[in-house]
Structure 1
Amino acid sequence: MKRDRHGKIIELIGRYDIETQEELAEKLNEAGFQVTQATVSRDIRELKLTKMTMGDRQRYVAVREHSRQMGEKYIGILRDGFVSMDVAQNILVIKTVSGMAMAVAAALDALHWQDIVGCIAGDDTVFCAIRTAEDTLQVMDKLRKMMKEL
């Protein structure tokens, strides 16, 4: 039960901008997990989730690489290399500074967003396969929020 709940938490924070323990508990309850705020608090601690600022909000993230500092480095790479983006159904096309596409693709992969299935990079273009066309719009929104922090 706990393993399933932890898996669902990782899925939910990858899919939604969840800012509070109460929001997370509500999403878990909607998904059929009967939890209290105290349980969610323990789960957050056990999963080593952290809050990261995205735009004008904070949200829970699971930074699986070394630390929160590494997560911020990945976001820095995205900001440094990002030029523009466009969508073709469930494919997100990101234009980058020349020579930065592989770094941007690696940074996106390292963030472990559940909606992104994988990325392919050239010299100045990244193709991201997204689960659905609707998810693609959500990923674009997350990226726009990150770029506003410049």
Structure 2
Amino acid sequence: MKVTRHTKILQIINSRDIETQEDLAEELRKGGMNVTQATVSRDIKELKLIKVLSENGKYKYATINHGQKSLPNKLAVIFSQTVIGIENVENFVVIKTISGSGAAAAEAIDSLNFSGVAGSIAGDNTIFVLARDKESARNITQKMKKMISD
């Protein structure tokens, strides 16, 4: 699935320096995704990745930073495409995602700065968001449900 692959690509380039499309394809293969260089090339274009100079003097793939607006927008799209259920339990919001998308959806939650969030913990397909109080948890749940229903 393209959304899962895009999520993984963003995770990879944010966690290590990737210099070439082949390096990125290899990292995706290590993660169990069967991809070709042509697929990775299309993904790079769709995600609008650019090459920037890394600290070690080599070029690496990165997201375009338009005042930190581009990445949160992409993450919001990933959130809406990967979340399959949201439930409010006391001060918690429990979010179910498609397998392998928990970390990316949690990154979206963090980047969107929902009011009343104390913190979040992500697994492979489940995220726990701790709200500061029950009312905040209800409000967060409503906002998140609206994001996935649009």
**Equivalent-residue separation in structure 2 for 1:96 and 1:113 (angstroms):** 18
Corresponding residue of 1:76:
77
Using the TM superposition, name which of 113-122 and 66-75 deviates more: 66-75
- Between Structure 1 and Structure 2, how many residues are aligned? 85
RMSD between aligned residues:
1.5
Find out whether 1:90 has 2:78 as its counterpart. no
What corresponds to 1:23 in structure 2? Answer: none
Whether contact under 8 Å (2:81, 2:148) holds in the other structure is no
Equivalent residue for 1:46? Answer: none
Q: How far apart, in 2, do the equivalents of 1:128 and 1:135 lie? A: 11
- Residue 132 of structure 2 aligns with an amino acid whose one-letter code is R
Q: What SS does the aligned partner of 1:128 have? A: strand
Structure 1 position 143 matched with structure 2 position 144: yes
* Counterpart residue number, 1:99: 100
Gaps of 5+ in 1: 1-64
Structure-2 separation of matches of 1:71 and 1:122: 20
Residue 106 of structure 1 deviates from its aligned partner by 1.1
8 Å contact 2:118–2:130 — kept in the other structure?
Answer: yes
Q: Quick one: which amino acid aligns to residue 84 of structure 1? A: G
Supply the AA of the counterpart residue of 1:97: I
Counterpart of 1:101, as a letter, is: G
Return the alpha-carbon distance in structure 1 between the equivalents of residues 71 and 122 of structure 2: 21
Residue matched to 1:31: none
CA distance in 1, matches of 2:95, 2:133: 17
> Which aligned pairs between 1:1-150 and structure 2 lie closer than 5 A?
66-149=67-150
1:69 CA displacement: 2.7
Q: Spell out structure 1 runs of 4+ moving beyond 4 A.
A: none
**Percent identical across equivalent pairs?**
31
Letter in 2 for 1:119: S
In the aligned structure 1, how far is the partner of 2:111 from the partner of 2:81?
Answer: 16
